[in-house]
Amino acid sequence: MAVQPVIKLEKVWKTYQFDHLALSVLKNISLEIAPGAFVVILGPSGSGKSTLLNMLGCLDLPTKGVVYLDGRDIAKMSEDELAQARGRKIGFVFQQFNLLQNLNALENVALPMIFQGKSELVRTKRAESLLTSLGLQERIAHRPSELSGGEQQRIAIARALVNDPEIIVADEPTGNLDSTTGKKIMEILIDLHKNEKKTIVVVTHDPTIADYSSQIVHIKDGEIVENHINHEKMVLWKK
Amino acid sequence: MLKEYFKIAVKNLKTRQLRSWLTILGIVIGVFLIMSLLSLSQGLKNTVLQQLKAVGTDIVMIMPGSISDIMTTMMGGVELSDEDLEVVKNTRGVEVVIPNLYKGEIVKYQNESKTAILYGIDIRNALDVYVNDMGMKIATGRWALPGKRELVVGSLVPTDIFPGMKIGTTINIKGRQFEIVGVLKSMGSKQDDSMLGLDIDLYRDITGARKGAPQAIAKIAPGFSVDQVAKDIKNNLEEQAKRRAGQQGESSYSVLTSDAMSGIVGNIMGIIQVVVFAFGSIAVLVGGIGIMNTMYTSVRERTREIGILKAVGAKNSTIVLIFLMESGIIGLVGGLGGMIPGLGLAKLIQAIGQVHPMFYIEASVSPGIILFGLFFSFGVGCLSGFFPARTAAKLKPVEALKHYE
């Protein structure tokens, strides 16, 4: 790969220690994600997909091996640097939406900008524009409990985009949605890749999205069994 | 950004309103106790010290008994004898000795009878000491003449005790008529301003207190060291007591300069305040534990929320700050909530005291006490929230996100 990867995993292990039992969820994983890639991670339940995604999103640190974000070893970054990296460089979309129940849609979307020191005016403008672009202009003042699953996930996507991150990490974003709504969410992610030039890493079971992707990673029992890169689709994205 | 974190903190507290208010109530009770008792004890201290300040610096007070055992002396009715007063008078450097004589008696003015404090004044020998050193100055009328049935009254007598009392009218004390000839200027204390002053000989005659005095006041002549003369008085009194030891047993005396009196009163009141504060603090501490409990519960309930905040870029310090703000707000609101009724109660007690002079007590509500109360309660809030906040900040984002409520 000619371009420097935005995220690189080098012989990464993640092992959990339970009293006398050590359980390795990730085993010797090496993986590179190029800027602008659309990566789909596939695998059965309990295969380590989410753990891998957490590692890629700097939410977790490896037990062994190295994770590089823009060439920097994340284990050597301070907690504050990691928090800043998550806030600025990476946007998360979760299966459970993970919106704050006591904040309305606008406040939820604007929340990550507070931690980047953005003024209220800038925050509100940006959050409103994102919510409008995702068709939620009527839902701005609603709390998550007053919204459908699809709407909540769109708010979560808006929140992931609010700091204009380079990478969007999505963990089964359609897992809690019906197929029609799920399809719409996937279309949004594809649109973000095509038009917003975002690097997308998504854990999914959706075969249609796998068709669109530029890189498919199959994982089983904590090991990568297939890492297929479609170079033609990679070119499609390049600036 | 502090403003934004503050907004988040307030929102979080509002989300769990009942629990927040119950926690606040714990602090309210503690601060209420501290504020009411502190303002009353500070007021008491101010009043006593103010009265002592009115006494000149060349004045010493002589009392029987040791100062460390003052209550026993006062309760036991030990008095200075005429011989004691004579010893004081003959000590080198003493200009004049005034027996301090006072007693409550029922007095009748027109058709109204009330208990008032009679004060025996040595008008013949020491009028200038009363005027110049003890702050007893005539506002209207004149001083009573020695040996005459005349009275000077405190400034509150014609206004509060016998409203409408006028100079030239008479008052009946134990069947004898006394003419009111003068009203004194306020001396700054309710007791002093409520007294009826009469010539010392007439006082002894009426009350039957013919000998000695509970205490005496001595004025030190110019050019003498007040401390040295005070020591001499004490030595002379004790030597005389030793000479009489065979018959009456050994006695001790306390001779206090005005500085020493202020110091003693200041110390006693200081101890009272420390005790009051310590007891009040226990109540606030319990409130603080309540805050800590609430905050730990909150951290547990909001583990997932903390994970979300970290996932979207919140630093550990931000999480700590939000939680500290929440606990600080609980403390501050509790402080405000306790202070208002606390100081209100103190003022109410003061108001009651003005109607019943026996309970006279002043409540000191100074900006200092208010600021102290607010900082104290805010501090307790922050301190109580510190450990829960640290626990919250230490949560690993990935583990926090896995947490289900």
pLDDT by residue (tens digit) across A57-116? Answer: 999 999 999 999 999 999 999 999 999 999 999 999 998 899 999 899 999 999 999 999
What is chain B's length? 405
For B4, the closest chain A residue by CA position comes to A114
For B398, the closest chain A residue by CA position comes to A59
The answer to whether residue B322 neighbours chain A at the CB level (below 8 Å) is no
pLDDT at A238 over 60: no
- Collapsing DSSP to helix, strand or coil, A220 comes out as strand
Chain A contact set for B308 (CB, 8 A): 98-100
Tell me which long-range contacts A130-134 makes (C-beta under 8 A, separation of at least 24): A130/A158, A130/A161, A130/A162, A131/A105, A131/A106, A131/A155, A131/A158, A134/A158, A134/A188
Which residue, among B3, B301, B312, would best test binding to A if mutated, counting the most A CBs under 10 Å from its CB?
B312
For B10, the closest chain A residue by CA position comes to A102
Helix (H) / strand (E) element for B42: namely helix B17-54
d(CA A231, nearest CA chain B) in Å? 31
Q: Over the range B62-73, which residues count as b (16 or more CB within 10 Å of their CB) and which as e?
A: bbbbeeeeeeeb
pLDDT by residue (tens digit) across B49-82? Answer: 777 776 677 888 888 877 666 666 566 667 888 8
Given the cut 0.95, state whether the ipTM is greater than it: no
pLDDT of amino acid B337: 94
pLDDT at B355 over 70: no
pLDDT of amino acid A155: 94
Token readout for A101 is 């129940």
Nearest beta carbon to residue A80 from set B307, B315, B401 = B315
pLDDT by residue (tens digit) across B92-115? Answer: 999 889 888 888 888 998 888 888
The answer to whether residue B17 neighbours chain A at the CB level (below 8 Å) is no
d(CA B20, nearest CA chain A) in Å? 15
What is the rounded distance in angstroms from the CA atom of residue A197 to the CA atom of residue A70? 17
Q: Cβ-count burial of B205 within 10 angstroms (0-12 exposed, 13-18 middle, 19+ buried)? A: middle
pLDDT of amino acid B252: 79
The answer to whether residue B15 neighbours chain A at the CB level (below 8 Å) is yes
Nearest beta carbon to residue B311 from set A59, A84, A116 = A59
User: Rounded to the nearest 5°, which phi and psi values hold at B208?
Assistant: 85, 0
Nearest beta carbon to residue A100 from set B1, B308, B316 = B308
* Interchain proximity A84–B14, CB inside 8 Å: no
Contact of B398 with A54, CB cutoff 8 Å: yes
Helix (H) / strand (E) element for A16: namely strand A7-18
Q: Which CATH class is domain A7-237?
A: alpha beta
* Interchain proximity A86–B312, CB inside 8 Å: yes
What is the rounded distance in angstroms from the CA atom of residue A160 to the CA atom of residue A237? 21
Tell me the domain boundaries of chain B: 2-52+262-402, 66-251
The amino acid present at B276, given as its one-letter code, is V
Contact of B365 with B39, CB cutoff 8 Å: yes
Helix (H) / strand (E) element for B27: namely helix B17-54
What is the rounded distance in angstroms from the CA atom of residue B53 to the CA atom of residue A87? 66
Considering only CA atoms, which of B287, B276, B299, B296 is closest in space to residue B378?
A: B287
* Interchain proximity B313–A163, CB inside 8 Å: yes
Nearest beta carbon to residue A115 from set B15, B305, B313 = B313
What is chain A's length? 239
pLDDT of amino acid B264: 80
Output the pTM of the full model.
Answer: 0.70
- Weakest mean pLDDT among A97-101, A231-235, B284-288, B387-391: A231-235
- Weakest mean pLDDT among A145-149, B247-251, B337-341: B247-251
CA B128: distance to chain centroid?
Answer: 30
The answer to whether residue B377 neighbours chain A at the CB level (below 8 Å) is no
Nearest beta carbon to residue A102 from set B5, B12, B314 = B12
* Interchain proximity B312–A117, CB inside 8 Å: no
Chain A contact set for B314 (CB, 8 A): 83, 87, 115
> Sorting pLDDT into bands at 50, 70 and 90, what band is A236?
very low
* Interchain proximity A83–B12, CB inside 8 Å: no
* Interchain proximity A117–B1, CB inside 8 Å: yes
Residue found by looking up tokens 């109360």 in the block = B373
